[in-house]
Amino acid sequence: MLLEVRDLHVEFRTRDGIAKAVNGVSYGVDAGRTLAVLGESGSGKSVTAQTVMGILDVPPGRITGGEVLFEGRDLLKLKEEERRTVRGAEMAMIFQDALSSLNPVLTVGDQLAEMFTVHRGMSRRDARARAVELMDRVRIPGARERVKQYPHQFSGGMRQRIMIAMAMALEPKLIIADEPTTALDVTVQAQVMDLLADLQREYDMGLILITHDLGVVADVADEIAVMYAGRIVETAPVHEIYKAPAHPYTRGLLDSIPRLDQKGRELYAIKGLPPSLTAIPPGCAFHPRCPLARDVCRTDEPPLYQVGDTRGSACHFWRECLHD
């Protein structure tokens, strides 16, 4: 496995007490595969990713347990300097907000070229040529001219392509994309997602795609991990989860996606709000919102039950949910 997160625990100290942001998360991704990590904000999906990248704010964030194995090496045991090398060359991250990640006073060409002068020791001239190549590769029309422009001169979708180009520059083995298309409108979303998926295949990278939107991952992900209150509540190959979710929370997420074939049908929204991470409900954390909840759910925390050969569900009543 390219990346394997094992039983990760992360806490934050807040004014209201200890916030348990990540509570025993395990997931993995192979080279050439895409894992979608799905959840509402506050589910722990971004904090897990930041821990993998080694960019968690410390303090107040504190890793209290677990391992992050990258090609078998535990990244949590590396010195910050070694960590930086891995982060630059072997894994890269793409964020939602390209405008705040790019430097407004440098041309995009200079920013792309800098990847090669700083990390690869290239001459400025060669690095500039590579910058144009990269912009071509992420399908920015007129790359030769547009390298001379500044970030604000690009549309949101084009800026996100530049972010992808920056992430791809050193040909990392793993890319983590945190809500890469959330700020874009729907057609542009699809184009950027296609581009990411194509590049991921072409370069045989592992891709972790973090999103709150089950609608955008159907065509690009191989596996899905659904997170709730800092835990993984369901994992499955993508086509299986769409056919029949094995967790009521996933079912709720699926039922709240607008579908063209069911126009006029009322959209189901999961009632209530996700819990505060300083006061996660006992038993199954989802029980206050769950239509299937009963007494045992309020006291006994469900383990991640094995469902068939390829899936897992942290629901005592996964059979009911699956066959409903």
Residues near ligand SF4 (CB under 6 A): 247-248, 284, 286-287, 290, 292-293, 297, 302, 315-317
Residue 46, interface with Mg ion (CB under 5 A)?
A: yes
Contacts of 98 (CB under 8 A, 6+ apart): 151, 156, 159, 160, 162, 163
Interface stretch with Mg ion, choices 2-10, 45-53, 137-145, 283-291 (CB under 5 A): 45-53
**Long-range contacts at 270-279 (CB < 8 A, ≥ 24 apart):** 274/40, 274/42, 274/43, 274/228, 274/229, 275/229, 276/16, 276/19, 277/12, 277/19, 277/20, 277/21, 277/42, 277/44, 277/229, 277/230, 278/14, 278/16, 278/17, 278/18, 278/19, 278/20, 279/17
46 binds, among ligand SF4, Mg ion, none (CB under 5 to 8 A by kind): Mg ion
Cβ neighbour number for residue 301 with a 10 Å cutoff: 15
- The nearer residue to ligand SF4, 10 or 315, going by C-beta atoms, is 315
For residue 82, the minimal CB distance to ligand SF4 (Å) is 41
Residue 130 binding: pick among ligand SF4, Mg ion, none (C-beta 5-8 Å cut-off by kind): none
**Residue 95's binding partner, choosing from ligand SF4, Mg ion, none, with beta-carbon cut-off 5 to 8 A by kind?**
none
Distance CA 177, CA 168 (A): 12
CB 92 within 8 Å of CB 205: no
Distance CA 110, CA 113 (A): 5
Q: Which is nearer to ligand SF4, 148 or 271 (CB)?
A: 271
Considering the complex, what minimum distance in angstroms separates the CB of residue 225 from ligand SF4?
Answer: 16
Contact between 181 and Mg ion by CB under 5 A: the answer reads: no
Stretch of residues binding Mg ion (CB under 5 A), selected from 1-9, 38-46, 183-191, 242-250: 38-46
Residue nearest to Mg ion (CB): 46
Residue placing its CB nearer to ligand SF4 in the complex, 140 or 292: 292
> In the bound complex, what is the minimum distance in angstroms from residue 302's beta carbon to ligand SF4?
5
Among ligand SF4, Mg ion, none, the one that 284 touches (CB under a kind-dependent 5 to 8 A) is ligand SF4
Nearer to ligand SF4, 20 or 287 (CB): 287
In angstroms, what is the minimal distance from the CB of 217 to ligand SF4? 21
Please give the structure tokens belonging to residue 173.
């083995």
Q: Tell me the β-bridge partners of 228.
A: 231
Whose CA is closest to 145, among 131, 155, 156, 157? 131
HEC states along 174-234?
EEEEECCCCCCCHHHHHHHHHHHHHHHHHCCCEEEEEECCHHHHCCCCCEEEEEECCEEEE
* Closest distance of CB 296 from ligand SF4, Å: 7
| C-alpha span between 276 and 290 (Å, rounded) | 16
Q: Which does 200 bind (CB under 5 to 8 A by kind): Mg ion, ligand SF4, none?
A: none
CB of 177 or CB of 280, closer to Mg ion: 177
Q: Regarding beta strands 3-14 and 17-29, do their DSSP bridges make them parallel or antiparallel, or are they unpaired?
A: antiparallel
By CB under 5 A, the residues from 108 to 127 that bind Mg ion are: none
Residue 290, contacted partner among Mg ion, ligand SF4, none, CB below 5-8 A by kind: ligand SF4
- In the complex, the smallest distance separating the C-beta of residue 6 from Mg ion, rounded to whole angstroms, is 22
CB of residue 39 to Mg ion, shortest distance in Å: 9
Angle, vertex CA 195, rays to CA 190 and CA 201, nearest 5: 125
Minimum CB distance to Mg ion smaller for 34 or for 46? 46
Least distance in angstroms from the C-beta of 268 to ligand SF4: 15
Token pair for residue 124? 């400025």
Query: Residues in the site for Mg ion, rule: CB under 5 A?
Result: 46
